[in-house]
Amino acid sequence: MVRFSAGRLLESIVVLGVMTFVVYVLIGLMPGDPIDLMIAADPNLTSADAARLKALHGLDKPIVERYWNWLSNAVQGDFGYSRTYTKPVLDVLFPRLGNTLLLMSLSLIFALALAVPIGIYAALHPYSKTDYAINMFCFAGISIPSFWFALLCIILFAVHFEWLPAGGMETVGRGDLLDRAQYMVMPIFVLTISSVGSFTRFMRASMVQTLRQDFIRTARAKGVGTTRLLVGHALRNALLPLVTIVGLSFGNLFSGALITEIMFSWLGMGKMMYDAILGNDFNLALIGLLFATGATLLGNFLADVSQVVLDPRVSFASRENER
Amino acid sequence: MSVIAQPSLQSPTRRMWRRFLQHRLALCSLIGLVFLCLLAMSAPLIEMLLGVDANTANLFARFQGPSLQHPLGTDELGRDLLLRLLYGGQVSLAVGIVAALFSAVIGTVIGLIAGYQGGMVDRVLMRFNDAVIALPLLPLLIVLAAVDLNKLGLPASIVESENISLYRIVVIIALVGWNTVARLVRAETLALRQREFVRAAVALGAPSRSIILRHILPNAVSPIIVATTLSVGNIILFESILSFLGLGIQPPTASWGNMLTNAQELIWSAPLLAVWPGLLIFITVIAFNFLGDGLQDALDPRALD
């Protein structure tokens, strides 16, 4: 157990390490560099100044050396300054991260609260009309482009009915709980719809498979009541794969949050990253991407470990062989 | 219920067809997709029949309602909406299908090598695969789409070509989209390697290349087809998001995604402009997903009749 987890953790750390380099190089390949931007902004800068500034910030050095400098500062907790906010990037990142986590966790809770009962219902009535309809809705949720769905919601609820604000975090001058909740309704709704479909399908599949197992028949034969059979015997087993799927869906949730935040001007990490990439704020884009990568890797790691922790039938040895 | 299974009188291919035809949604999706592709390809013909040019702006004819000349009306520059949707469809469908095929090829090669070679090669490739799966896809795609091709040292003739945004998006999606196919093909290859006919071929001294190409690959085709079909929908979604954000297909070339970029600014004055492109993305993606689902049922020999 410990060996397995330690191995997986080490692997994730190695991947994160490699990704810091890949992302650093990619960010370096984006158009423009910080000094060119300063020259464009200030006509008094001469080319000699520019060269001196480039030397000062180490931009004349090869990319590997720059990466090494960045990394040695980063491990000491110094990730550099944001160009657009003129603040240390972590000071920009953390409030944004909080907003994103709020969005992600609430929509994850709603998605699961919908997916689990709906999935169970569908599994209990396989190939019925309702099951068919649920399946259709799941496919629709998976296939709908979330940015378009967000746009439709804005057109309908903000432009047409004027029930909800079209975007932002709070009304200037109000900002009480009710006000902020109004701003949250649409982003959370859109993000929930984008993940509920696949969760429901997994829940249904896993429940159907569990109900076919021998121990369910045995339990029924010895007279266990329906509720107890479903909750105590079937659900506990059927939820195991869902735990894994939730862990693995971290990356998708981040992607979904990114597009949702952009659509609703939600001041989260996804929008921050997108603005940073478009605004040539290299340090900020870098830390945002690395944080997203780290969180996704963590989700995958937890999914892997939880599978072996929660399900004793998955032995570590077989898990290792399979991989 | 008879205890003894009836011997099947049908050939596997016919059984596959029958199962596929039973999956009504998949069948409808296939028909719908073929129709959509034909419609998109016949855009120049429709352009001729209507007597309008898809890319000419006409500021005197902005935001027109449906008419004989413009069946779906005109957009913010007075261009015909139907024609732009069809040309955009050509781009979106082509990107989706071509990028899916590219990633399928990359995935198949990696999966075959990993599964057949085993050992260290397998372990390294699968670790790499795990790593790519564990990346947050959309943020990464945005960075890849923002990379300055001049800094990559590509020749100017490529960087400045007209279709560069098209090539770029196919390449970056293929770069990150191969892992599902790779994982499936590897699993299939591992299983097939243990089968008698493959071991017999090895014992008879067949070279690895011919074992892989003639014995393993043909038997691993079903999961490749299913995964590729399912990935087309996802790729169209990603393409539309990137184009919508201004990082994918660049105007004036229309794609369903970048048509929505302008429509977003106009939701107060012309909300219908935002409805059509998104609806087409939605229909196309859901059709590919239904098709993939149907193919999975049809091609999986373990599926129950």
Give the model's pLDDT for residue B287: 94
The nearest CA of chain A is from the CA of B249 a distance in Å of 16
- Cβ contact A323–B126 (<8 Å): yes
Q: At what angle do helices A177-211 and A146-153 cross, to 10 degrees?
A: 140
Q: Do A145 and B281 touch (CB under 8 A)?
A: yes
Torsion, CA A77, CA A83, CA A87, CA A92, rounded to 10: -80
A210 Cα distance to chain centroid: 29
Q: How many angstroms separate the most distant Cα atoms in chain A?
A: 88
Q: What is the pLDDT of residue A49?
A: 76
Higher pLDDT, B257 or B305: B257
In chain B, residues with a C-beta closer than 8 Å to the C-beta of A29 are 147-148, 151-152
Q: What is the pLDDT of residues B176-218, one digit of tens each?
A: 888 889 988 998 898 888 889 999 998 998 898 889 988 899 9
Instruction: Chain A: give the shortest CA distance to residue B26, in Å.
Output: 12
Q: Is residue B106 classed exposed, middle or buried when 0-12, 13-18 and 19+ CB atoms within 10 A define those classes?
A: middle
* Residue A297 to residue B134, Cβ atoms within 8 A: yes
Q: Residue B119 to residues A42, A237, B113, B122: CA-CA distances in angstroms?
A: 58, 34, 11, 5
Select the residue of B139, B277, B290 nearest A258 (Cβ to Cβ).
B139
Could you tell me which of A104, A60, A19, A30 has the C-alpha nearest to residue A276? A30
Shortest alpha-carbon distance between residue A179 and chain B (Å): 23
Token pair listed for A105: 């966790």
- From first CA to last CA, the distance across chain A in angstroms is 15
Asked if A255's CB is within 8 angstroms of B143's CB, the reply is: no
User: What would you report as the CA-atom Rg of chain B, rounded to the nearest whole angstrom?
Assistant: 23
Measured from the Cβ of residue B259, the count of other Cβ atoms closer than 10 Å reads 28
Q: Do B282 and A18 touch (CB under 8 A)?
A: no
Query: What are the tokens at B82?
Result: 């139907």
Is the Cβ pair B290, A139 closer than 8 Å? yes
Most B-contacting residue of A134, A148, A319 (CB-CB within 10 A), to test interface: A148
pLDDT at B6 over 70: no
B232-258 confidence digits (pLDDT tens):
999 999 999 999 998 888 877 888 998
Per-residue pLDDT of chain A (323 residues; tens, 9 = 90+): 777 788 888 888 888 888 888 888 888 887 776 677 777 767 777 777 777 777 776 677 777 888 888 888 888 877 888 877 888 888 888 888 889 999 999 999 999 999 999 999 999 998 889 999 999 999 999 999 999 999 999 988 988 888 888 877 877 777 688 888 888 999 999 999 989 999 999 999 999 988 888 988 999 899 888 888 888 888 888 888 888 888 888 877 888 888 999 999 888 888 898 888 888 888 888 888 888 888 888 888 888 888 777 777 765 544 544 44
User: Which ranges of chain A does DSSP label H, i.e. alpha helix?
Assistant: 2-28, 34-41, 47-56, 63-74, 89-124, 129-143, 146-153, 177-211, 214-221, 226-228, 236-248, 250-263, 269-278, 282-310, 316-322
Which residues in chain B have their CB less than 8 angstroms from residue A264's CB? none
* Local structure of B218: helix, strand or coil: helix
Q: For residue B151, list chain A residues with Cβ-Cβ distance below 8 A.
A: 28-29, 31
Residues of chain B neighbouring A126 (CB-CB closer than 8 A): none
Q: Do B285 and A143 touch (CB under 8 A)?
A: yes
| Partner residue opposite B127 with nearest CB, options A11, A19, A251 | A11
CA distances from B61 to A6, A69, B269, B272 (A): 66, 58, 15, 16
d(CA B241, CA B260): 10
Q: Can you give the pLDDT at residue B5?
A: 52
Q: How far is A52 from chain B (nearest CA, A)?
A: 22
Q: Which of B123, B125, B135 to mutate to test the interface with A (most CBs of A within 10 A)?
A: B135
Cα torsion A74, A79, A80, A83 to 10°: value is 150
Q: Which of A278, A290, A200 is nearest to A245 (CA)?
A: A200
Q: What integer best gives the mean pLDDT of chain B?
A: 83
d(CA B63, CA B60): 9
Option in B138, B152, B267 nearest A151 (CB): B267
Q: Work out the end-to-end distance of chain B between its first and last CA atoms, rounded to an integer number of angstroms.
A: 14
Rounded to 5 degrees, φ, ψ at A75 are -65, -20
